[in-house]
Amino acid sequence: MTSAAKPIDTERFAAGLRARAIDVEGGRVLISRLTGSSQEVDLTVPANCNGYGRVRHFRLATAEGWPANPLPIAPACRALGIAPVPDLMTALVFQNAACAWRCWYCFVPEDLLKADLSRSAWFTAAELVDLYRQIPDAPQIIDLSGGSPDLVPEWTPWMMRALADAGLAETTYLWTDDNLSTTYLFDALPHADLDLIRRYRNYGRVCCVKGFDARSFAFNTRAAPQDYDRQFEILRRVLDLGLDVYGYVTLTSPHDDGVPQGVADLMDRLQAIDPNYPLRVVPLRIQIFTPVEQRLARDDARARSLAIQEEAIAAWMSELERRFSPELRTLQICDVPLRARSA
> Between 287 and 318, whose beta carbon lies closer to ligand SF4?
287
From the CB of 176, what's the least distance to ligand SF4, in Å?
13
> Between 91 and 99, whose beta carbon lies closer to ligand SF4?
99
> Between 146 and 204, whose beta carbon lies closer to ligand SF4?
146
From the CB of 190, what's the least distance to ligand SF4, in Å?
26
From the CB of 99, what's the least distance to ligand SF4, in Å?
3
From the CB of 101, what's the least distance to ligand SF4, in Å?
4
From the CB of 152, what's the least distance to ligand SF4, in Å?
13
Q: How far apart are the first and last CA of the chain?
A: 46
> Between 202 and 252, whose beta carbon lies closer to ligand SF4?
252
Longest dimension (CA), the chain: 53
The residue range among 141-149, 183-191, 289-297, 331-339 that interacts with ligand SF4, by the rule CB under 6 A, is 141-149
Give which of 311, 324, 237 is closest to 278, Cα–Cα: 324
From the CB of 341, what's the least distance to ligand SF4, in Å?
26
The residue range among 55-63, 101-109, 133-141, 228-236 that interacts with ligand SF4, by the rule CB under 6 A, is 101-109
> Between 39 and 172, whose beta carbon lies closer to ligand SF4?
39
From the CB of 253, what's the least distance to ligand SF4, in Å?
15
From the CB of 182, what's the least distance to ligand SF4, in Å?
11
Per-residue binder mask for ligand SF4 (CB under 6 A), 102-131, x = binder: xx--x-x----x------------------
> Between 17 and 196, whose beta carbon lies closer to ligand SF4?
17
For residue 158, how many other CB atoms are within 10 A of its CB? 25
The residue range among 69-77, 94-102, 257-265, 301-309 that interacts with ligand SF4, by the rule CB under 6 A, is 94-102
Three-state SS letters, the chain: CCCCCCCECHHHHHHHHHHHHEECCCCEEEEECCCCCCCHHHCCCCCEHHHCEEEEEEECCCCCCCCCCCCCHHHHHHHHCCCCCCCEEEEEEEEECECCCCCCCCCCCHHHCECCHHHEEEEEHHHHHHHHHCCCCCCCEEEEECCCHHHCCCHHHHHHHHHHHCCCCCCCEEEEEECCCCCHHHHCCCHHHHHHHHHCCCEEEEEEEECCCHHHHHHHHCECCHHHHHHHHHHHHHHHCCCCEEEEEECCCCCCCCHHHHHHHHHHHHHHHCCCHHHHEEEECCCCCHHHHHHHHCCHHHHHHHHHHHHHHHHHHHHHHHHCCHHHHCCCHHHCCCHHHHC
Is the torsion defined by CA of 63, 66, 67, 70 positive or negative? Answer: negative
39 contacts ligand SF4 (rule: CB under 6 A):
no
Q: How many residues lie near ligand SF4 (CB under 6 A)? A: 11
Of 318-337, binders to ligand SF4 (CB under 6 A) are: none
> Between 182 and 202, whose beta carbon lies closer to ligand SF4?
182
Of 144-173, binders to ligand SF4 (CB under 6 A) are: 146-148
- Interface ranges with ligand SF4 (CB under 6 A): 99, 101-103, 106, 108, 113, 146-148, 179
